[in-house]
Structure 1
């Protein structure tokens, strides 16, 4: 009754968008653990309100591309190997047989060139760095395989000079069963402000969610591990993203008051970062009238495990 028939959308999307969509349809918050965005605006004829999503994939396949009749000759029987696909500004970046994380992408306008007959890489050199950064900043290493991307450092972002100290916070009232992606929550925040760091007490209503956003300044290139602890209040949960990647999951199966790291279980899984500013997004929910508390720590090159200092946090406008 609400989705008009016969619609065609040519916007790129990915399977994780459907979790977000079905949560939106059900009237529950889109989980912060989901990489997706709700497609409900597009489905209901409001494509102008559609939030852009992440389209990214990587996989390793030792064989060659199929001999499909609709494939152009140069795409038939091509050696695949380690592959990455990423969309930036509506254009598709593809690289196969990757043995060096700095290898250039082929760039295609799949909307106007569905057979990918024209590689635009030479005419869009400014996209190479952005595609490489997008690929590295949306992924994490996995248990199942090791790749050349795992130790490639994620670039810092360029930020305008209007950066100010501290993280921005927004307070949302409600009883949240999991940490939401507050960017997709339809109810407005009841309060806003700036905090020196997440390592502070946050007072508010008995049932609430808080989103903190800004940048964390990484002092030097290298491998970093992050740690997060919430208060011990019943129902306290948190979720942290650095760039687009999942950094710390203190949501699913989390025991309030426990320390959770960015490692994969009991396996070391450092995040390789370039020195500079990296966007961070922290979601917290709690269901107690007691004060809430988040503590975020790190360890890295020359840094023993310690609270991330307030001087490392800032907020401002990201430049392109």
Structure 2
């Protein structure tokens, strides 16, 4: 049992300086400076500096993980759902934002899929002026904070009142105290960080931030896109819509469909992934709708860029129409005109054919099925 058990030991983020339960020591009972709990970093809980975000993790699994390894591969807590699913031999759910860290843990870091590292936090006050902190980090205004990692570098912006505010950019692997801002030398990365920050999030109502109505940028492609969506078919029964990118089994068939609504015959128990782009005709707010066939066990999940767009999985009634709204609350997606990457996962356990219907409504568009000419694939998003 000991040999075959994975133990993961980690922590909540950031040392905190709240008071304790003892009325006589309500202030200062927890003093991050006492043990220098922030280590070689600046920041405490509620800061998006590394000291408020980064925590260590210890993992032990003698049967699979070589002892004595150290990895500086960054990850986020959502990666552990994917990792534990992978370790248990079940598909990683599509609705998880995480990627399995098993390749890194088992000594195969070259096979590690890149994950999403993103956070935003809105709180008043300032970073404390501890003597160990760099001068510019002492008393820094917090406000609306946001971090995103792109190409292994961390983008951080604080006190955000405009979604186009520039990020500070840090190489936290070699500079954990974030002493050198690389932003001035990386204008192209700055633009990609802004796009990644908007395209990996959805508004969480009723909370309001400056990012909620910011238009998600379209992507440029390296070459001419071809009509239709690529599809891959996987045989088998799936308890939920998997992240097909992390599925261990190989696809049984591949092809191109003009749109998601095309019926695809195949084995009675199957999963299908459709990938490509949807061309948004005009800047503005959009609502998307999806329905599957009424076959028992039919489920679907849709992502636009990295964001969750439509969840027709766990509580979904096959054949019903669901939208990108939050229940009965409007929750539009704000998009720039142009191409936006779309990924649709479908599983079905009965019936002769699979079918999906994807609709939208937006600027100048009444609710209608998305036309086939709006879908394309290849081109390679930059």
- Whether the TM-score (by the shorter chain) exceeds 0.5 is yes
Task: Tell me, in whole angstroms, the C-alpha distance in 2 between the residues paired with 1:98 and 1:25.
Answer: 39
Q: 1:32 — aligned with what?
A: 94
Compared CA separation, residues 249 and 129, structure 1 to 2 (3 A): same
Task: Tell me, in whole angstroms, the C-alpha distance in 1 between the residues paired with 2:322 and 2:379.
Answer: 30
Which one of 305, 318, 322 corresponds to residue 256 of structure 1?
318
1:1-320 paired onto structure 2 within 5 Å:
1-320=63-382
SS in 2 for 1:103: coil
How many pairs are equivalent? Answer: 320
Checking the alignment, whether the CA contact within 8 Å between 1:33 and 1:239 is kept in structure 2 is yes
Q: 2:55 — aligned with what?
A: none
Checking the alignment, whether the CA contact within 8 Å between 1:204 and 1:289 is kept in structure 2 is no
Task: Tell me, in whole angstroms, the C-alpha distance in 1 between the residues paired with 2:348 and 2:121.
Answer: 37
- More moved, 198-207 vs 87-96: 198-207
- Tell me which stretches of 4 or more aligned residues in structure 1 moved more than 3 Å: 66-70
**Structure 1 residue 71: Cα displacement:** 2.5
Q: 2:24 — aligned with what?
A: none
**Structure 1 residue 69: Cα displacement:** 4.9
**Structure 1 residue 161: Cα displacement:** 2.5
Root-mean-square deviation over aligned CA pairs: 1.0
Q: 2:20 — aligned with what?
A: none
Calculate the TM-score normalised by the size of structure 2. 0.82
**Structure 1 residue 104: Cα displacement:** 0.3
What's the CA shift string for 1:186-245, capped at 9, x where partnerless?
100000000000012121101100000000000010100000000111110000000000
Checking the alignment, whether the CA contact within 8 Å between 2:85 and 2:92 is kept in structure 1 is yes
Task: Tell me, in whole angstroms, the C-alpha distance in 2 between the residues paired with 1:191 and 1:105.
Answer: 43
Which structure would you say has the larger Rg? 2
Task: Tell me, in whole angstroms, the C-alpha distance in 2 between the residues paired with 1:180 and 1:262.
Answer: 19
What's the CA shift string for 1:129-152, capped at 9, x where partnerless?
100000000000002410000000
Q: Which 5+ residue runs of structure 1 have no aligned equivalent? A: none
Calculate the TM-score normalised by the size of structure 1. 0.98
Task: Tell me, in whole angstroms, the C-alpha distance in 1 between the residues paired with 2:162 and 2:253.
Answer: 46
Task: Tell me, in whole angstroms, the C-alpha distance in 1 between the residues paired with 2:198 and 2:132.
Answer: 31
Task: Tell me, in whole angstroms, the C-alpha distance in 1 between the residues paired with 2:321 and 2:151.
Answer: 38
